[in-house]
Structure 1
Amino acid sequence: MKKKILVTGGAGFVGSHLCEKLSQNKDYDVYSLDNYFTGSKENHVPNVTYIEGDTVDIAKLVTFYPDMVYHLGEYSRVEQSFDDIEKVWKYNKDGIFAVLEFVRRAGCKILYAGSSTKFGDGGLGRSASPYAWTKASNTELVENYGTWYNVPYAVTYFYNVYGPREIQSGKYATLIALFKEKMKKGDVLTVVSPGTQKRNFTHIDDIIDGLVLVGENGYGDEFGIGSPESYSILEIAQMFGGKIEMLPERKGNRMSADVVTAKTEALGWNPKKNIKDYIEKLRKNNWEHE
């Protein structure tokens, strides 16, 4: 019997790569649940069954009990979350409750994609934005379901993921993709002040290797998946080599984050790619992905 694996947010940037990797396992039937808020049908991959809708409706939309749920399908932008608080609540708070109740009834394991913002600025980052707070409090609810109802769980934390299928334009664009598009068009690179805020940029392939490993073998909290090297946003802009314009400071913009990867490394994970090489490849390819 094949195992049924459900990925929420399976048409998004990280979710689509995870679906692609899982679907290569002949022992898995892979399903995606996505509302296409930031996901795209262009990210669909072969051998995956796609279900459209919100996670809050998971019990109506998913008509089977999976063996494993990777819960990636949440709102995931810091600065925009101040303006989008209703969406943040629906997708993150109403969503997590519906997913955990579904998982409890299914009797299966959940891997929850937490947010490294809760480790930002010595722990002060957890309440710095609506996004950060919902994600930090959701990790606590996942842990509590583990205690209250014996739901098997693992909580992972990504650190600034980059690579193919990033959102490239609009207010939900991610930094590396945004800089890449600006270089392609000859536009100025904009950096939010002070520019010294540091990030641990992690390639999508390393993220997926970590996710699958933790999904199959990890239990509990604090499975960070992040590159050990950190660079300031200004340093990244300088690696791209374009003209730089500084923008005013913004609310919720953390200065640093602790990278918590020891438990993931203990399972055998190590990052294999780095951002410097990636930017250099983009430059050689005239700002197209490899």
Structure 2
Amino acid sequence: MKRRILVTGGAGFIGSNLCERLVENEKNEVYSLDNYFTGSEKNHIEGVKYIKGSTAEVSELIDFAPDVIYHLGEYSRVEQSFDDIETVWRFNKDGIFSILEFVRKTGAKLIYAGSSTKFGDGGLGRSQSPYAWTKASNTELVENYGKWFNIPYAIVYFYNVYGKREIATGKYATLIALFAEKMRKGESLTVVSPGAQKRNFTHIDDIVDGLVLVGEHGYGDEFGIGSPESYSVLEIAQMFGGPIEMLPQRQGNRMSADVVTDKTEALGWSAKRSVREYIATLQSVNWVLK
């Protein structure tokens, strides 16, 4: 019998890379549920079965009982969440309730992607934006469902992911891809003031390594998947080497976040890739994302 794995957000940046890894194992039957808000059909992986729709409707859309659900399909931008608060609520709050009810009925193991903003600025980060609060409170709901209904779960936390299939343009672009695109176009690199805000940039392959490991062996909260290397946003811009334009400060922009990786490392995980080396690789191919 093959193991049925459902990845919500499977056509997105992180989800597509996870699907690509999971489908390599012939023992896995991999499904994606995505509403294509930031996901793309360009990210489809051969061998993965794709279902289009909202996680809030998971019970109507999925007619089988998965063995594992990786719930990555939520709204995931800090600064934009102030303008998109209705969308944030629909994707993150309505979605998690439906997913948890589906898990309760099917007995699947849930791997929930929390947000490292929860640990930002000594814990204050959890309430600094609509995005951060919904993600932090969702982790509490997952924990409570585990206690109330004895569902198996693990909660993972990502730290500023970069790599293959990053979004490079538009208001949902991620930083490394955005900077590479600006360098390719000969534009200034825009850095939100003060520029000293620290981030632990983590390669997508390290993220997927951790996700697969936690999916197989992890139970409980605080499975952080983040590089121990910390750089300010201004330092990252300086690594790219282009002209820098400072932008005004923005609401919700945390200065730092604790990297909580002890439980993931105890499973045998470690970060193996360096953002400095990745930027140098992009430079060698004229800022073309790989």
**1:3 Cα offset (Å):** 1.0
Tell me, in whole angstroms, the C-alpha distance in 2 between the residues paired with 1:244 and 1:36: 32
- Counterpart position of 1:50: 50
Q: Does 1:79 align with 2:100?
A: no
- Counterpart position of 1:230: 230
**Gaps in structure 2 of 5+ consecutive residues:** none
**1:164 Cα offset (Å):** 1.1
Q: Alpha-carbon deviations, 1:81-105, whole Å to 9, x = none?
A: 0000000000000000000000000
Q: Does 1:168 align with 2:142?
A: no
- Counterpart position of 1:136: 136
Share of identical aligned residues, percent? 74
Tell me, in whole angstroms, the C-alpha distance in 1 between the residues paired with 2:152 and 2:163: 30
- Counterpart position of 1:93: 93
* 1:251 alignment partner, SS class: coil
**1:188 Cα offset (Å):** 0.4
- Counterpart position of 2:274: 274
Tell me, in whole angstroms, the C-alpha distance in 2 between the residues paired with 1:244 and 1:26: 47
- Counterpart position of 1:112: 112
Q: Alpha-carbon deviations, 1:205-245, whole Å to 9, x = none?
A: 00000000001000000000000010000000000000001
- Counterpart position of 2:180: 180
**Gaps in structure 1 of 5+ consecutive residues:** none
* 2:205 alignment partner, SS class: helix
Tell me, in whole angstroms, the C-alpha distance in 2 between the residues paired with 1:281 and 1:26: 32
- Counterpart position of 1:34: 34
* 1:206 alignment partner, SS class: helix
Give the TM-score normalised by structure 2. Answer: 1.00
Letter aligned with residue 200 of structure 2: N
Alignment: residue pair count: 290
Contact 2:210 2:225 in 1 (8 A): yes
**1:108 Cα offset (Å):** 1.3
Letter aligned with residue 222 of structure 1: E
**1:289 Cα offset (Å):** 2.7
4+ aligned runs moved over 4 Å, structure 1: none
- Counterpart position of 1:242: 242
- Counterpart position of 1:219: 219
Tell me, in whole angstroms, the C-alpha distance in 2 between the residues paired with 1:108 and 1:190: 43
Letter aligned with residue 27 of structure 2: D
* 1:245 alignment partner, SS class: strand
- Counterpart position of 2:127: 127
**1:8 Cα offset (Å):** 0.2
**1:288 Cα offset (Å):** 1.1
- Counterpart position of 2:152: 152
- Counterpart position of 1:195: 195
Letter aligned with residue 3 of structure 1: R
Letter aligned with residue 195 of structure 1: G
Tell me, in whole angstroms, the C-alpha distance in 2 between the residues paired with 1:58 and 1:289: 33
Contact 2:180 2:289 in 1 (8 A): no
* 2:223 alignment partner, SS class: strand
- Counterpart position of 1:8: 8
Contact 2:177 2:289 in 1 (8 A): no
Letter aligned with residue 89 of structure 1: W
Letter aligned with residue 269 of structure 1: W
Tell me, in whole angstroms, the C-alpha distance in 1 between the residues paired with 2:272 and 2:117: 23
Could you say what the CA RMSD is over the residues aligned between the two structures, in angstroms?
0.4
